[in-house]
Structure 1
Amino acid sequence: MKNWIWAVIIVLLGVILLLSASFYIVDQSQNALLMQFGKELRVEKSPGLYLKWPVFQHVIYIDKRLQSYSPQPETFLTEDKKPVLVDFFAEWQVTDPGVYVAHLHDQANAQAQIGEALRTALKNRVGSLSMQSLITASQQTVSAPVLTAVNQHLRSLGIDVLDLRIMQVGLPPQVLQATYKRMEAEQIQKADAYRAQGKSAADAIRANAEKEKTTILADAYRQQQEIEGQGDAQAASIYGNAYGKDPQFYAFYRSLKAYRHALSHKTVLVLNPDSPFFKYFRHSLNEAGK
């Protein structure tokens, strides 16, 4: 009796396991490739519950969502042999699960094939454009020919690159440093040229200022001499008029001025007492003696 019960339990477990192995579920984000003895039977692309023969058949699930390929920036040469650093990423999708599994087996191999195809196509495209054309080109101008060339190869492997975006086009670090140094040298050269021009202009301004200064001083000196000459002439005229009106007073006034200048600052004069210079002194002494 007990052996019969165990036999029934074992049979039921076997049936349950057989039934569970006979069904498979396809998620909405997956494609299911049904294989039998290494050969493709069919592809289930719609989500749901499906039936298969256990043991003889197995299912390979393949992600049908968009997947990203985002490598490190790559360096390419332009048509004018100038290196540029291109930063890009791509979106790809499995379009034929059977071919994809047969040729690539997994996502790692797919990424490698996509990277190789993109690098080759980008190298050819960048090499057909000059540096100026590449910088000013639109996204579509650069990416459209690359996508066409890439998909001609990758569609035979069951995948399709749907979008390619060029994030940035720049110079490689070593070229960028050399460019910065060259720009710095050019700016230093320009600064030196500006300084030299400024010094030359300053020297010219100083020379003109000195010239104007000399001219102004000469003109001022000439005007001074003219004014002094006019003053002296006017003074001489006044003195002449005064002398004509009272010659004795004029002679006395002139003698006083001579005394003032000659006898200032403790001046010592050794003269003959009968000198005309002492005329008015003698007159004053005679008056005092009276």
Structure 2
Amino acid sequence: MRKLMIPVVVIFIALLLMSVFVVREGERGIVVRFGRILKDANTEVVHIYQPGLHFKVPLFDRVRTLDARIQTMDDQADRFVTAEKKDVIIDTYVKWRIADYGQYYLTTGGGDKSTAEALLKRKVVDNLRAEIGSKEIKQIVSGPERKAAEVIEDPAETVVNEIVAEVAPRKEVEGQRDQIMADVLAEIKVSAMKDLGVEVVDFRMKKINLPDEISESIYRRMRAERESVARKHRSQGREKAEVIRAQSELEVAKILAEADREARVVRGTADAQVAKIYADAFNQNPEFYSFLRSLKAYENSFNSKNDILVVDPSSDFFKYMKEASGVK
């Protein structure tokens, strides 16, 4: 009897483990029996297993867990044609999550995420292509008009606007980028829910580029514009430097001229005072004045041993050397 109990216990434990399954947080579970999804008996709606511990019929039921969190579909950028038959490259992303788990499971062939995103991307591209095909480039790249206080003049932005104007006919149109995203989101919300059983939470055009050949032209124009602004600033700086230098040189010349004038006035006044002193001394005692002048001349003439003086000894130059009294 004991020998039979051991296999029975093992089988019971195995069946118990096979009948238990766990749904983790962030997931939802559905049970497939004989290839069909289990539904509630009363409502005929697919039974969804919330996170936690659940039971199933072993061997017959197969559990499929699906991610219930919001997913992000961020694929490669696609090329679209505008109303002017011009190409633009748009990079988008979509936020989505499963709403109808039964339909999602059947549509994607067992809940395959890559299959769901491929089908969803086809819907997004088709709707976005229809919207872009009816809009002009300026409508696509521009949002709603901003107030004047929010507008900042930028030479680079001016160049981009000029390039866009060259690609598209120059025409005043209102930017509709936000409206395009809203229209595409509304369209794919309905079709994705109906065909795939997923809820599209958000859709955004995160980057809009022109083709490489046009982008290169924009970059060249932007560089040329920046270089032009730099040359303008340099020339203005050189002009101001020349003005400052000229003003400085003028101030220096004026100061030097004023100083020279004052020096000449002082020197002339001093010379006049010296001449007056000499004149007063000469008027008081002409003979003594002549004597002092002769001594000064002797000093200047014989201050060096190498000096040679050729003068007639009987000349008046030696008057005070020949006569001790200084008088003939």
Change (3 A) 1:257 1:116: farther
Q: Secondary structure at the match of 1:92?
A: strand
Tell me how many residue pairs correspond in the alignment: 252
Provide Cα deviations, 1:13-59, integer angstroms capped at 9, x if missing partner. xxxxxxxxxx9x9x8522758768xxxxx6532558899xx9xxx98
Instruction: Give 1:71's match in structure 2, choosing from 65, 69, 74.
Output: 74
Q: Secondary structure at the match of 2:323?
A: helix
2:186 alignment counterpart? 148
1:131 Cα deviation from its structure 2 partner: 3.0
Q: Which amino acid aligns with 1:29?
A: G
2:312 alignment counterpart? 272
**Alignment of 1:29 onto 2:67:** no
1:85 Cα deviation from its structure 2 partner: 5.5
Change (3 A) 1:100 1:206: same
Change (3 A) 1:85 1:231: farther
Paired with 1:85 and 1:184, the residues of 2 have a C-alpha distance of 24
Paired with 2:247 and 2:181, the residues of 1 have a C-alpha distance of 64
Provide Cα deviations, 1:102-135, integer angstroms capped at 9, x if missing partner. x654534332110122234445667674434189
Change (3 A) 1:98 1:152: closer
Change (3 A) 1:204 1:89: same
Instruction: Give 1:256's match in structure 2, choosing from 295, 313, 318.
Output: 295
Paired with 1:220 and 1:273, the residues of 2 have a C-alpha distance of 49
Paired with 2:324 and 2:237, the residues of 1 have a C-alpha distance of 76
Q: Show structure 1 runs of 5+ residues with no match.
A: 1-22, 37-41
1:163 alignment counterpart? 201
1:207 alignment counterpart? 246
**For the Cα contact (< 8 Å) 1:100–1:157, is it kept in 2?**
no
Query: Which is further off, 187-196 or 169-178?
Result: 169-178
**For the Cα contact (< 8 Å) 1:96–1:158, is it kept in 2?**
no
- Higher gyration radius (CA): 1
1:150 Cα deviation from its structure 2 partner: 1.0
Q: Secondary structure at the match of 1:254?
A: helix
TM-score (norm: length of structure 2):
0.57
**Alignment of 1:114 onto 2:120:** yes
Change (3 A) 1:193 1:72: same
Q: Which amino acid aligns with 1:278?
A: F
Change (3 A) 1:135 1:178: farther
**For the Cα contact (< 8 Å) 1:121–1:150, is it kept in 2?**
yes
Q: Secondary structure at the match of 1:30?
A: strand
Paired with 2:199 and 2:325, the residues of 1 have a C-alpha distance of 136
Change (3 A) 1:124 1:161: farther
Paired with 1:223 and 1:213, the residues of 2 have a C-alpha distance of 15
**Alignment of 1:246 onto 2:289:** no
1:157 Cα deviation from its structure 2 partner: 1.5
Provide Cα deviations, 1:125-153, integer angstroms capped at 9, x if missing partner. 6767443418989x986653222111343
Change (3 A) 1:113 1:233: same
1:191 Cα deviation from its structure 2 partner: 4.1
Q: Secondary structure at the match of 2:307?
A: coil
**For the Cα contact (< 8 Å) 2:144–2:178, is it kept in 1?**
no
Q: Secondary structure at the match of 1:29?
A: strand
Q: Secondary structure at the match of 1:271?
A: coil
**For the Cα contact (< 8 Å) 2:73–2:94, is it kept in 1?**
yes
**For the Cα contact (< 8 Å) 1:122–1:146, is it kept in 2?**
yes
**For the Cα contact (< 8 Å) 2:70–2:96, is it kept in 1?**
yes
Paired with 2:90 and 2:46, the residues of 1 have a C-alpha distance of 42
Change (3 A) 1:132 1:281: farther
Q: Secondary structure at the match of 2:93?
A: strand
**For the Cα contact (< 8 Å) 1:32–1:44, is it kept in 2?**
no
**Alignment of 1:44 onto 2:38:** no
